[in-house]
Amino acid sequence: MTFLLRILAIGVPTALGVVAILYAGALRGAPEVKERNRPPQPVRVITLAPTPIVPHVSGYGTVAPAREWRAVARVEGEVVETSPLLANGEIAPAGTILLKIDDTDLRLTLAQIDAQMDALDVKDETLGASLEINRSDLALGEADLERQKTLQQRGVATQVGVDQAERAVLAARAKVTESENQLALNEAERNVLAAQRAIAARNLDFTEITAPYDLRIGTVSAELGQVVTRGATLVTAEGTDAAEITAQFPLGRMGPLVRALGPDGTVMGLKAEVRLTTPGHNVNWDATVDRVAEAVDARVQAANIVVRVDDPLGKAQPGVRPPLRRNMFVEVQLSAPARKALVVPADAVQNGRALVVTAEGKLEPRSVALSYSTDSVAVVSKGLEPGDKLVVTDPSVAVPGMMVKPVEDEALTAEIAAAATGAASGADKGTEKGSGKGAGKGEGKGSGKGPGKGKAE
């Protein structure tokens, strides 16, 4: 009995303690959970709208004159006169006598030929008189022969008389023939002398080297007092009326550009512009597509297209627009007529996919088809609509499905508009290239990829 009471005295308090502990645990509520809502990630966007675009492509090449001229000596002699304009870089108008070669020998040759022709004239007069006499003598001889034959038939004359008359006729005829032959030889000799005189007179014209059209003088190889030989190059020059640029264009870019002209469009129908980029300054020249070279550069699969700039010297302005010179490296832009389309930064479409911000503020991927693209902008044909907010933030920041805060990038929109029309030029490349990796990484990276690469094609 005592043992039982002892167990109860120990067990009951213990059991009550366990029950109290369990009950206290049941009464204790779960800890309050504080919800933390992450703020939406800011992403840069542009609101799509139809934008005027001028389909264009840029190529590069060097300037060359449309016409090159080389003066080659066609006669031998000493250079006796040179023009003050006969110097490298000088502009010689058409008709300028650049240099003269001594023509004394040619003039003496002409005088000699003229004297020989005068002598032939005298010979012809003498032979003409002799021919008349010989013909009269022949006529008398022939009459005497007929008389002798008549007398022989009557029995008055002998055969000897007839034979003598025949010999006289033959002798007279021989003299006539000789005179006629000599006159014919004189005429042939006169023709030879006339040809020689024409050659000498023509060579006399070659003693003056004259600019055939407006020229910029290049290399001068003939100096005053120098004796030049036939075939020697005296002067090299280039025409100033036009300049040509043979520029290379990727074959893959030319197809969409020509198709933009319509079913009957050709490369010759494209508008051309030549650009020279210098630090802080751009110079443009209107040009025309002159021709397409016959071969494609197999190394880079590029077509060689020749454009022409008329009167580059006349369009020059000191300090503003330099004249187009040989070997200047320039950009050539070919363009089709303007049209309206949805234009986006080329980098905003990756592997046919782009991100847009929905009305709920979430990122949504879209499949996008492009009809025309360059290094900086692309034209959307399918997958995007006017009013869509296209994400232009760095893809590493923009994750599909996340809540975002769209930030309109107005600067990029302006750059796209400029690039679409080809207004973004080489001078802007330095500033455009630095524009950004996105607002999502803070404010230090600027605004905008896409046209920021600066090649406005």
Domains of the chain, start order: 43-54+339-453 (2.40.420.20), 56-64+241-335 (2.40.30.170), 68-101+207-239 (2.40.50.100), 104-205 (1.10.287.1120)
CA distance 277 to 328: 11
pLDDT given for residue 440 in this prediction: 35
Query: Do the beta carbons of residue 234 and residue 71 sit within 8 Å?
Result: yes
Instruction: Look up the pTM and report it.
Output: 0.64
The tens digit of pLDDT for each residue in 291-348 reads 988 878 778 788 899 999 999 988 888 888 888 999 999 999 998 888 888 899 988 8
The answer, yes or no, to whether residue 229 has pLDDT greater than 90, is: yes
The tens digit of pLDDT for each residue in 31-75 reads 554 445 667 888 889 999 998 888 888 899 999 999 999 999 999
The answer, yes or no, to whether residue 259 has pLDDT greater than 60, is: yes
Rounded mean pLDDT of 13-27?
Answer: 58
The answer, yes or no, to whether residue 444 has pLDDT greater than 60, is: no
Rounded mean pLDDT of 365-389?
Answer: 86
Strands 302-310 and 281-297: antiparallel
pLDDT given for residue 418 in this prediction: 86
Rounded mean pLDDT of 19-33?
Answer: 53
pLDDT given for residue 17 in this prediction: 62
* pLDDT tier at 367, thresholds 50, 70, 90: very high
The answer, yes or no, to whether residue 443 has pLDDT greater than 90, is: no
The answer, yes or no, to whether residue 450 has pLDDT greater than 50, is: no
